[in-house]
Chain A
Amino acid sequence: MPKTTALIFGYNKYAREILNNVKDKYKNIKIYARDIENIKEEDKKFIESFDLSDEWDSIKKDVDVSKSMAFCVLEDTAENIFLTISLRANFEELTIIALASNKESANKLKMAGANKVIPLVETTADIIANMLEKPISNRILHSILYEESALKIAQIKINEDSHFKDEELHSIDWTRYNGIIVLSVMRKDMKSEFIYSNKAKHHILEPGDVLVVVGYENDIKEFEKKIGSKRYVDWSNWSW
C-alpha cells in the first residue's frame, strides 16, 4: 500500500534533516515532539506533542498507519527503543525506520520491531572508509544513488507481459541491451541476488521479480520498451 504519511518522532537536528529530505514525498507529515517550546517557526505546522506514556489515541484516530512511515529519531537510545516497542505494540502494520547511535542499539531497535535501522556511527564510518579507500567507485556510486549525474539506478519489475517472463536468467543475452547493466535480480520473496551468482544463474524470471539496472535515462526507457516491462515507479510502495 502506498505510504502517504510520514510520522517523525522527536524534534532535533536529525528530525529536521529528515523533514527537509522527505517533505516532497509525503502528503502528510507530522512531527511528534515532547517539548513544543523551542520549535522553529517554519516547522510549527507539522508539530504535535506526545509523551512516551501515550496510548497513541490521536494517531489511531487521525492516521491510517498502514499508509504511514514512522521515523524514530529520539536522541536517547533507551527512549528511542522504548518508543519503537511502543509503536510496534500498538501498530502492527506501521513501517518504522529508526536511527541508532551504534550497532548495539541497532540490534536492539530491530528486536524492538523497527523495519529498518540506520546505525549512525557505522554508516558514517562506512562512508568515510569508502571515500578514502575507493574514492572513484564511491564517487560514482554516490552520483548514481543521489542522481548527481545523468546515470541512474532503476528497478524494473517483470510483469505478466514481459518478454523475460519464464526465461532462465543466464540464457538471456544481455549484450543486446547495450546501454544498461543489470546488477541484480530481486525475487518475489524479496531476496536480492547478484546477476552472476550461482543462484541467480538458474533463476527463472517470474512476474513480480525486480531487475536492478544501471544506465542513462534514455537507455533505461529503451530497455523497458524492448523487454516489455515497466519501471517499478511507485517507489513509496516499499515495505518489508
Chain B
Amino acid sequence: MLKRWILDFAYYLDTSKSYQRKKHFFYRLLEDDKFKYKKYVDFLMITLIFISVIVLIREVKHHVNDYLLFFSNYIISFVFFIEYMLRLWVNSSVSKIIVARAEHDSFLHREVNLKKAFLEILRVKLRYMLSPQAIIDLLAILPFFHELRLLRIFILFRVFKLFRYAKSFQTLASVLGTKKFEFLTLGIFASIVIFISSVLIYVMEGNDPASPINTLFEAVYWSIVTISTVGYGDITPVSHEGRFVAMLVITAGIAVLAFTTSLFVSAFTEKLDEIREIKMIENVSKLKKFYLICGYESIARELARKLALSENDIIVMDEDEQRIELAKADGFTALNYDPGKVESYEKLNIDMATQVKAILCLRENDVENVYSALTIRSIDKEVFILALLMQDVNRKKLEFTGVDKIVYPQELVGLITKELVGKPVAFEVIHELRSENADVKIDELGVTERIVENFPTVGDLGNKKFRVVLLGVYKERDDRFYFNPLDDMLLEAGDYLLVIGYQVFILEFEKYLHTKVDNA
C-alpha cells in the first residue's frame, strides 16, 4: 500500500507541471547565471556573509548588539540552511529516479524494487553532499550552534561560500586545476623535504641546550618557515650539523618557490586565451540585441563597420584565425568558431529568438554560406538569416536552406548600372539618401500610442516647420505605403513615418513628436 502511494506520488510529481516549474525556478535562481534574478540572490548571500564576518571580528574585543548577534547566529544560519536544502532539492530529482526504476522493473515484468531506487537516491544525494561546495555550505550553517565556542570559528567557512558567488575564484580554481599533477608532485617533494629536514634538525639539535628547537613541532615549524624562504629568524640552528641541514632546506626552498611560481605562470599563460574566450562569451550572452556575422571578408568587414556606426552590437564568427584577428583589430567581438557547426552556437550560450537581430552569412563562398545557413536553421527556425550569393547557379540551394534574404552583388551591379545610365540624377539623389556620409537622410520614425494621442492626423505633425519632408506613411497592419498622404489621414500606433531631411532636423522633429505631451 505504502509502495503504491510512493509510486503514485512520484509519478504525480514527475508529471506535475506546476511542481516542475517551481523546481526549475529555484534551480535557475541558484545555479543559472543567465537567470536575471540570480544576481540578486547572490548579492544577498554575499552581504550576509560579510555581515557574519564583521560581527565575528567585532566580537573579539567589543560587545556586539544582541539583536545583531541573534541575526548573525540564527537568521543568517537559517537563510543558509534554506539555501542548502534548496540546493539539495534541485540538484537531482528523487521522483525521476523512482519513476525510472518503476519503468525499468515493469518493462522487465518484475515487481518494482523501491529499495534500489532509494539506494540510488541516497547515492546521488550523498555525492552532492560530499562535494566541496556542499560541505562548505553545511559548515557555514554550523555557527547556528554558537554556544559551542569552537563552532563559532565556522563563521569563517561562510567566507568560503564566496567561491560559489565569485566567478573569478572559479576561474582561478579551474586554471590551477589544469596543473593538478604538477602541484601534486611539488607538494610531495616539499613534504618529503620538510619531513626529512624536520627529523634531521630535531635529531641534531633536539638535545642541544643552546638550540631553540626542543620539540618535533618546533622542528617542523622551522622547516616550513625556512623552505618557504620566509625565515622569521625566531628559531635558528646553532650547531654545524643543524646549519648544514638549513643550507639544504634553503636550497630546496628556492627550487620549490621557483617551481611554484612557474607553475602558476604557465597555468595562466596556457589558459589565458580560454579565459578571455569565456569572458567574451559571458559578455556576448549578456547582450540584448546584436548582429551575428558569420565570415569576415571584405563585404562583411565593410558592413560591420557601417552597422557599428549606428551603434549596433556586432559579433563576428569565423573559422579562419587571421580573419578573426582582423575583426578583433577592427574592434569587434570576434570568435574563432566554425559557423557551420552547431557546437559553435551552443558555446555562445545565446537565445537566438530574443538576442539576435539577424545572422549574416557573409562568406564570399556559396558552399560555406549554404552550410552555415543550414546549421543555423537546424537550431532556430525563426531567426532572420541574410546570406551573400556569389554564383547565381547556387541561388536555389541557398533558398532551400531557409534563408530569409539573399544578396547577390553581381545583380546589384547590373541594376545599379541600369539606373545609373537611365536616371542619373534620380539615382544620385537616392544614393545620397542612403549614403552614410550624406547630410540629408531618409529615416523611418515609428508611431507610438503617445504620438497618436498628440498628433492624430498627418496634418498635425507639422513636419514642414522642422524642414522635414514627409515622403509617406507606412501602415504595417495592411503592409501598404501611403505616399504623400493628405493632411486628414489618421495616424495609428504601429505606423511608420518616412521622412527626408537633414539628420539634425529629423532628430529635432522626432524629439518633438515624443515630447509634445509635456508642452500640451
Contacts and interface: CB of A to CB of B under 8 A. Distances in A.
Please determine whether chains A and B interact with each other in the same assembly: yes
Interface of A: 3, 13-14, 17-18, 20-22, 25, 69, 71, 97, 99, 101-102, 116, 118, 120-134, 136-138, 140-141, 144-146, 149, 151, 153-155, 178-181, 183-184, 186, 192, 194-197, 210, 212, 214-216, 232, 235-236, 238
Contact of A238 (B410, B417, B421, B472): B421
A194 to B, nearest CB: 4
A3 B422 CA distance: 11
Interface residues on B, range: 35 or more
28 contacts: A14-B410, A17-B410, A21-B415, A69-B421, A97-B420, A116-B420, A118-B417, A128-B299, A130-B434, A131-B407, A132-B307, A132-B358, A133-B307, A133-B310, A134-B444, A138-B434, A140-B474, A144-B430, A145-B430, A146-B419, A153-B430, A155-B423, A155-B425, A181-B483, A192-B429, A215-B484, A216-B483, A235-B421
A186 B429 CA distance: 10
Given A123-B412, A132-B386, A192 B428 contact: yes
B299 A124 contact: yes
A239 to B, nearest CB: 9
Interface string B403-419: 00101011111111111
Given A140-B472, A196-B501, A128 B421 contact: no
B414 A127 contact: no
Interface stretch (B151-159, B195-203, B435-443): B435-443
Given A124-B302, A134-B443, 12 more contacts: A18-B417, A121-B298, A124-B388, A136-B444, A140-B474, A153-B430, A192-B432, A194-B439, A194-B500, A216-B483, A235-B421, A235-B424
Contact of A129 (B306, B409, B433): B306
Interface of B: 291, 298-299, 302-303, 305-307, 310, 312, 357-358, 360, 386, 388, 405, 407, 409-430, 432-436, 439-440, 442-444, 467-469, 471-472, 474, 481, 483-484, 486, 496, 498, 500-502, 505
Nearest to A179: B484
Contact of A121 (B299, B312, B410, B411): B299
A145 B440 CA distance: 18
B285 to A, nearest CB: 22
A127 B439 CA distance: 18
B407 A127 contact: yes
B426 A17 contact: no
A102 B298 contact: yes
Nearest first, the 5 closest Cβ-Cβ pairs linking A and B are A17-B414, A125-B302, A196-B467, A21-B418, A238-B424
Nearest to B435: A126
A127 B500 CA distance: 18
B471 A214 contact: yes
Contact of B386 (A126, A131, A236): A131
Contact of A140 (B388, B498, B501, B505): B498
Contacts of A232: 425
Contacts of B306: 125-126, 129
Nearest to A219: B484
B194 to A, nearest CB: 66
B496 A136 contact: yes
B413 A155 contact: no
B414 A21 contact: yes
A197 B503 CA distance: 12
Nearest to B438: A194
Contacts of B500: 183, 194
B482 to A, nearest CB: 11
B146 to A, nearest CB: 62
Contacts of A146: 415, 419
A98 to B, nearest CB: 11
B474 A128 contact: no
A145 B435 CA distance: 15
A125 to B, nearest CB: 4
A197 B472 CA distance: 20
A26 B333 CA distance: 49
Contacts of B428: 192
Nearest to A196: B467
A66 to B, nearest CB: 16
Nearest to A130: B434
A109 B419 CA distance: 21
Contacts of A214: 471, 483-484
A128 B481 contact: no
A126 B306 CA distance: 8
Contacts of B436: 126, 129
A124 B468 contact: no
Given A102-B298, A130-B434, A181 B469 contact: yes
B55 to A, nearest CB: 56
